[in-house]
Amino acid sequence: MRLVYLGTPEAAVPPLRALVAAGHDVMLVVSQPDRKRGRGGALVASPVKAAAVDLGLGVTDVVNDVFEAARAGAELGVVVAFGKLIKTDLLSALPFVNLHFSLLPRWRGAAPVERAILAGDTETGVCLMALEAGLDTGPVYRRTVTPIDPNETVGALRNRLVAMGTTMLVDALAEGLGEPQAQHGEPTHAAKLQPEEFIIDWTRSAVELHRLVRLGRAWTTFRQKRLKILSARAVDAIAGPPGTLNGLVVATGQGGLELLDIQPEGRPTQAAPAWCNGARPTHDERMGP
């Protein structure tokens, strides 16, 4: 099949490579523009653009180039985490499918994997849907469901969903899409996470904070310096107000959060016991403002 592929982050690379390996003619790849990265501010290509170049595919950051591909015989557009809505005139020129990492209509939007973890969902999945002008509102061709392990990190879960979705996409194109089914259920919106959402509020429960830590960017302060909490686990309640340290366990609004791996400001990641041995926090010190 002649395809146009639209994607940007690392999660969109395996489906692209799988489509090429399955023999599809990927006529054009569209990805977000190169962005400045690192201290030097050098322009760096998106993971999808880099993969497209490696595969010898034509790649652009101009979405309207899809019109030319459609006129040249493209039969379908495939969207995986592109990061931008497709305009109505483009949807009229070419049919599109979208690989979305949630069980629609739950968690429509930019951060479905993160929001599922934060909400304490016990299961999630992948949907292959027809693209419409609305945000993830289109009917669904196929879906697959998987449980969420209560200790699973966002990276591990996303990798599983990408693998499942890649297989589903390739199989669907090989077997034929068939007729999509309308979404059923109460929609929820997976808004992009804002920087302030990663600040640990120790008055929240240990269970909630453990979910936040599983996203990989949670942080607090200790002795007026930033301290990233990279892994932790919820334990029984301990004495003291929220933020109080008792060894490696921090008191929360409900229960305690045992620190496992942390990263002090300006230093490499280290196991929490090693940090504790060096920092020697006293019993009356607290984390957070």
Instruction: Give the pLDDT means over successive 10-residue stretches in the chain (289 positions).
Output: 98 98 98 84 92 98 96 97 93 97 98 98 98 95 98 98 98 97 97 97 97 98 96 90 93 96 95 93 86
Confirm if 209 and 197 have CB atoms less than 8 A apart. Answer: no
- CATH number (domain holding residue 113): 3.40.50.170
Identify whether 159 is part of a domain: yes
End-to-end CA distance of the chain: 57
| CA–CA dist 182, 86 (Å, integer) | 20
72 and 176, same domain (yes or no): yes
Amino acid at the residue 89? D
186 and 54, same domain (yes or no): yes
Global confidence as pTM: 0.94
139 and 273, same domain (yes or no): no
The domain boundary residue, chosen from 133, 165, 190: 190
Domain extent, residue 247, equals: 195-279
146 and 83, same domain (yes or no): yes
Identify whether 109 is part of a domain: yes
| CA–CA dist 254, 251 (Å, integer) | 8
Residue 157 φ then ψ, to 5° = -65, -45
How many folded domains does the chain comprise? 2
46 and 123, same domain (yes or no): yes
Positions of E strands within the chain: 2-7, 25-30, 35-37, 42-44, 59-60, 76-80, 96-100, 108-109, 123-130, 140-147, 189-190, 219-222, 225-235, 245-246, 249-251, 256-264, 270-271
Identify whether 289 is part of a domain: no
pLDDT at 36: 80
Confirm if 66 and 94 have CB atoms less than 8 A apart. Answer: yes
155 and 214, same domain (yes or no): no
pLDDT at 275: 94
Residue 93 φ then ψ, to 5° = -85, -25
pLDDT at 173: 98
